[in-house]
């Protein structure tokens, strides 16, 4: 093995984390609104990004379907010491016509990082109303509700 050899899964995981951090930064800069929900001494960070933002090999590694009509809901739960913690997540999303779809979250753990991913189908310029239930390991739970306007990326 040469010194130029890179562990591809580690590189992809790092790329996904970098992508999410970059998108968080862009959204914070553009909207001046932090996408975080605080309760019971925890922070729940959430973001919705087009699946086309992911490179094909990264999407494949995480079993995410890339398409212009799909978005990825990414959620991380941190305790008061900014350490990632496990939680139980469930939720749904509905558009302005009342069409509802269930969000099926799956846990991804890479080292100390824990995040939850769910895919969301949408139309172009569609407003989705997301309702996400977060239950902490200690049994405390809360709900996050937010609207997100979705666009098809070309």
Residues 36-59: pLDDT tens digits? 999 999 999 999 999 999 999 999
Closest CA to 93 of 133, 137, 139: 133
Domains of the chain, first to last: 8-150 (2.60.40.3340)
79-99 average pLDDT score = 96
Contact 148, 127 (CB under 8 A): yes
What distance in Å separates the CA atoms of residue 15 and residue 12, rounded to the nearest whole number?
Answer: 5
pLDDT, residue 144, reads: 97
**Choice between 103 and 12, residue whose per-residue pLDDT is larger:** 103
pLDDT, residue 152, reads: 87
11-35 average pLDDT score = 49
24-33 average pLDDT score = 41
pLDDT, residue 148, reads: 95
**Helix, coil or strand: residue 77:** strand
For the chain, the average pLDDT equals 84
pLDDT, residue 20, reads: 53
């Amino acid at each position: 093995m040469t010194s130029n050899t890179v562990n591809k899964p580690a590189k992809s995981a790092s790329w996904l984390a970098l992508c999410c951090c970059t998108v968080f930064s862009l959204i914070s800069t553009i909207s001046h609104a932090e996408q975080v929900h605080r309760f019971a001494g925890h922070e729940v960070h959430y973001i919705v990004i087009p699946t086309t933002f992911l490179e094909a090999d990264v999407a494949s590694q995480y079993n995410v379907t890339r398409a212009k009509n799909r978005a990825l809901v990414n959620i991380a739960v941190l305790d008061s010491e900014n350490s990632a913690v496990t939680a139980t997540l469930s939720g749904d999303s509905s558009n302005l016509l009342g069409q509802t779809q269930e969000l099926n979250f799956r846990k991804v753990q890479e080292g100390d990082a824990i995040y939850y991913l769910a895919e969301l189908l949408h139309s172009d310029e569609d407003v989705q109303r997301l309702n996400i239930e977060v239950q902490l390991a200690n049994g405390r739970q809360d709900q996050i509700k937010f609207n997100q306007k979705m666009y098809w990326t070309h």
